[in-house]
Amino acid sequence: MSKIFHSRMNQLILIILVSVMVSCQESEATYMLEEEKLIEILVDIHISEAAAQQGDISQRDSLRALYYDQIFKVHEVSKNNYEEDMELLKRDAERLTKIYDKVIENLKEKKEKTVGKKG
């Protein structure tokens, strides 16, 4: 009975160690894009989404695809790298919130500049 207990205990310890190692690896996720680059891309994406909403409903999907292709080209980023980073961010709420706070601030600044030019 003692051998069975020790065997089970060793298995449990191994499972815990593997779980901890996996958790540590996830928290050390490697992002492809620098934070500032990602913020710039997200700002452009939100502006393009707003522009696409202004277009004809039958052309919105085409406009979005065109805008996204252009954004990735301008920022010299692959769509795949962007999507991989966004998947990682979905699992890191703190970092996602921090980035989106900066995106929102950037969008507000751009809006103020645009409104200031009109007035």
Token pair for residue 92? 């890191």
Say whether pLDDT at 5 is over 50.
no
33: nearest Cα among 1, 76, 81: 81
| pLDDT value of residue 114 | 82
Q: Are 74 and 44 in contact (CB under 8 A)?
A: yes
CA distance 81 to 87: 10
Is the pTM higher than 0.75? The answer reads no
Rounded distance, CA 33 to CA 112, Å?
28
Q: Are 39 and 51 in contact (CB under 8 A)?
A: no
Confirm if 99 and 46 have CB atoms less than 8 A apart: no
Average pLDDT over residues 22-33: 68
Residue pLDDT, tens place only, 57-73: 888 899 999 999 999 99
Provide the pLDDT for residue 116. Answer: 75
CA–CA separation, 108 and 7 (whole Å): 60
At 54, the pLDDT band (50, 70, 90 cuts) reads confident
Q: Is the pLDDT of residue 43 over 60?
A: yes
Res. 19 pLDDT band, cuts 50 70 90: low
